[in-house]
Structure 1
Amino acid sequence: MLVSNVSLGGCAEFNSALCAGAGEGHLGGGSYRTTLTPTGHLIVAVCLGFIGTFGLVNNLLVLVLFCRYKILRSPINLLLINISISDLLVCVLGTPFSFAASTQGRWLIGEGGCVWYGFANSLCGIVSLISLAVLSYERYSTMMTPAEADSSNYRKISLGIILSWGYSLLWTLPPLFGWSHYGPEGPGTTCSVDWTAKTANNISYIICLFVFCLIVPFMVIVFCYGKLLYAIKQVSGINVSVSRKREQRVLFMVVIMVICYLLCWLPYGIMALLATFGPPDLVTPEASIIPSVLAKTSTAINPVIYVFMNKQFFRCFQAMLRCKAPLRGSSARSSSKVATKAVRGVAVTGPRRTNDFLFLVASLGQPAAAVPQLGPSCEPTIDISKAHSSDNKPVVVSLVAHFDG
């Protein structure tokens, strides 16, 4: 969401102070005219229309599934719902206004509306990014916990959700109080942080925003999912055929997550830095609008990656389409009973014995009854969803790393 030259039509909708500031170089020293043609505005409007429609439908469907099926109401799924809510708010509070502005070629709701648009969309966008990082950390930390996870404990997840909104407010409120500011961007049909003001006040804010709201969440996601994938590789030595399939599935999911994250937000970050540190005319309206549109696509992509590629939600979605209950024995059925676990056990295979080995199980809703056996030579397995036995003798457990969205 990069600031460049703003159309004269858009200027007419703002007060004279804002327009004067732009003419004096407040918005980056440009000529304050648009180079985006009517056809260009139309293309942007069509893209925003598709993104807003799909984002609204996808996120509403996620909320409907969550409200309809109690089996989906597990702590970890609350983070997915938090992501959907933040994305839905962008579709409701942001995309319609930028869509309408693009159809007219100018901003339509004045300076106050521009500031509100910039703040609300920045807030919800950062909440979504931080929630993705919290989600990855939750899976990683639970995987490393040597005790059975309490699937009825919502306290930790609730703190993560509060953290995502509090952290986002920490970085989106300062422009309202003088540390940088919100204003028109690109061809004047959207608003965001002013990326082009060459002042120490603005540059310091842009650097902090880039580091703490883009780079840090990305590093957390890569680290946590990297550890998750490494844990699955350790299990592959126990049951190669099953674990290899799961490993490939996790790898595919992680690659998709990282690629989509970079596709949606990296162009935005790069263009913001170019607008901040580059020459005043380096970022044109045509170039600046593309990262803005790409960033908004995350509202439609996130539900597909994090929810509909999740077996729990997908099976409930199928059940809703067929007007039936979720399939018996599906992962959704036991989502409230079996959460992500890390279990310490002793596996015995004939005369050989693996002592005191930590198996990491990353399962989000896989029923214990569906967990494969270690092999025909193993002792009978126990149901890891049941309470721990008071017997201190070593037990044999069958473990497999599983990843549900």
Structure 2
Amino acid sequence: MKYNISSSLDRNVIPLSVGIIQAILLIIIFIIGLVGNILVIVVIKRYEISSSPINILLLNFVSCDILSLFILYPITIIVKFGLPVYPFDSSFCSFEGFLRQTCSIVTILTLTVISVGRYDAIVPPVHKRDHVITQLRAKMFVVWTWIIAFIFSFPPIVGWNHYIYASEFSYCLPQCLHSDRNQSNQSTIQSSLLYGYLLYPLVYNLPLLVMIHNYCNIFRAIQTKTDRLQQRQGFIIRKQSKFLFELRTCRIMFTITAFIMVLMYPYILSRQACFISVGVNDTFASGDAYSIIMSFLGVLTMAAPAVTPAILPLMHRRFKREFYGILCSWTRSHKIQPLIYYVKAETDEHLIRSIDGYIKRNEQRDNKHRIPQDLQEKPANVQAWSGFSFSDVVTRDVRQHNIENHGS
């Protein structure tokens, strides 16, 4: 069934002044999102920590944001600056809608898998080793998120529903009940409704419920384990520090997820209301107020790619210092590696001095988590912790090897 898209590529209904304000906001979001997400990838890849399950998922999430920023945002910004009509034909509109829908679904599904990984790391007992999210499974989940996104985004390309230009949002979306109010073909309307009834509950509402369930149980388990740790004075420092590391990672990912959901879900709810025609009448939906409100919801959801690079430096000190280090072109000796890293040095003397200085700083910073003396005397790998996170992994074997071979 061929659909006449000419009525959907009409003049932009957003006032020019409002469009310019939104275009400026999108330019700021574009710069922050593009530069910040590239920095996240550089930090993770530079220090060879991309093989952990959480970072594999994070790389997929960030890469999806960069893809949407590169291709979709410039088009929307150009249209927002007062372009009278959509500058491309219906084929490109279908491509834009397909890519936008795919990236949106991949974002939601990846955040859902990350919540499952955090649930698996914190809620099960400490001795449990059969984790749901392993390195191999994380890669499989990445593949499946894209496959599922393609499956749900492809039907409008082949005729089940259609991607049309929504002038209130200034970009192309799946057709809903109010996308073309003069549409006389009832079968087209029914097809649009059926597609929406399947799309939003399965790839938006259901993952949201899974994330709410996971994080509610996570924070309940955190409270229980925290009380237990406070009651056990002799708790093994390694297990305690592992729990604190998982706790901080969970807090960071929960904050990122919460902000993205707050930004995206008003728009998602408006699209669901459009499909099911609840609370939207034709008089209001055809007015300027409706168009302006919907346009700001569209800008709000397009701010989601800037969340991750904004939250990570605020909640993770090493990411913050590494971001500044890359931007300011610091020397290698000034760089602090994120999460867990191995001490690297160009000379043996520098290596030994770095290890000794690091241990001394951590012991002075927080005596509560000081490494026991019996562990320090062992030649095996010794891990030092500070505050509520793993600190850097100091390899005593490397130091002992250099002392024995170089006599310094």
Q: Scaled by the length of structure 1, what TM-score is found?
A: 0.69
| Alignment check: 8 A CA contact 1:140 1:228 kept | yes
Give distance in 2, aligned partners of 1:79 and 1:310: 18
The alignment yields a C-alpha RMSD, in angstroms, of: 4.1
Decide which moves more: 261-270 or 65-74. 65-74
Q: Secondary structure at the match of 1:239?
A: helix
Which residue in the other structure is 1:172 paired with? 153
Aligned amino acid, residue 317 of structure 1: F
Decide which moves more: 136-145 or 117-126. 136-145
Which residue in the other structure is 2:260 paired with? 261
Instruction: Map 1:54-93; keep pairs closer than 5 Å.
Output: 54-93=32-71
Aligned partner of 1:42 among 20, 29, 41: 20
Which residue in the other structure is 1:100 paired with? 78
Instruction: Map 1:6-405; keep pairs closer than 5 Å.
Output: 17-19=4-6, 34-103=12-81, 104-143=83-122, 144=124, 146-148=127-129, 154-187=135-168, 189-195=170-176, 196=178, 199-240=189-230, 253=252, 256-257=255-256, 259-276=258-275, 277=277, 278-283=280-285, 284-305=290-311, 309-310=315-316, 313-314=319-320, 316-317=322-323, 320=326, 321=328, 322-324=330-332, 331-333=339-341
Q: 1:238-285 CA distances to partner (integer Å, 9 max, x unpaired)?
A: 433999998996796476345413321221122113323133343332
| Alignment check: 8 A CA contact 2:322 2:338 kept | no
Aligned amino acid, residue 98 of structure 2: F
Superposed displacement of residue 303, structure 1:
3.0
Aligned amino acid, residue 262 of structure 1: M
Give distance in 2, aligned partners of 1:60 and 1:179: 36
Superposed displacement of residue 155, structure 1:
0.8
Q: Secondary structure at the match of 2:173?
A: strand
Q: Secondary structure at the match of 1:183?
A: strand
Equivalent residues, number: 331
| Alignment check: 8 A CA contact 2:312 2:319 kept | no
| Alignment check: 8 A CA contact 1:232 1:401 kept | no
Distance 1:158 1:373, change over 3 A: farther
| Alignment check: 8 A CA contact 2:56 2:138 kept | yes
Which residue in the other structure is 2:354 paired with? none
Aligned amino acid, residue 282 of structure 1: F
Superposed displacement of residue 147, structure 1:
3.9
Give distance in 2, aligned partners of 1:192 and 1:121: 8
Aligned amino acid, residue 195 of structure 2: Y
Aligned amino acid, residue 291 of structure 2: P
Distance 1:302 1:218, change over 3 A: farther
Distance 1:139 1:305, change over 3 A: same
Which residue in the other structure is 2:356 paired with? none
Q: Secondary structure at the match of 1:282?
A: helix
Structure 2 portions without partners, runs of 5+ = 180-185, 232-239, 344-361, 392-408
Superposed displacement of residue 286, structure 1:
1.3
Distance 1:403 1:292, change over 3 A: farther
Q: Secondary structure at the match of 1:192?
A: strand
| Alignment check: 8 A CA contact 1:49 1:99 kept | yes
Give distance in 1, aligned partners of 2:248 and 2:121: 20
Aligned amino acid, residue 315 of structure 2: M
Q: 1:112-170 CA distances to partner (integer Å, 9 max, x unpaired)?
A: 121111111111121111111111112212442744479x9621110110121111112
Distance 1:76 1:375, change over 3 A: closer
Give distance in 1, aligned partners of 2:312 and 2:148: 21
| Alignment check: 8 A CA contact 1:239 1:374 kept | no
| Alignment check: 8 A CA contact 1:264 1:295 kept | yes
Superposed displacement of residue 329, structure 1:
9.4
Give distance in 2, aligned partners of 1:171 and 1:16: 20
Distance 1:258 1:191, change over 3 A: same
Q: Scaled by the length of structure 2, what TM-score is found?
A: 0.68
Structure 1 portions without partners, runs of 5+ = 1-14, 336-368, 388-397
| Alignment check: 8 A CA contact 1:373 1:381 kept | no
Q: 1:148-195 CA distances to partner (integer Å, 9 max, x unpaired)?
A: 479x96211101101211111121111112221101013473111112
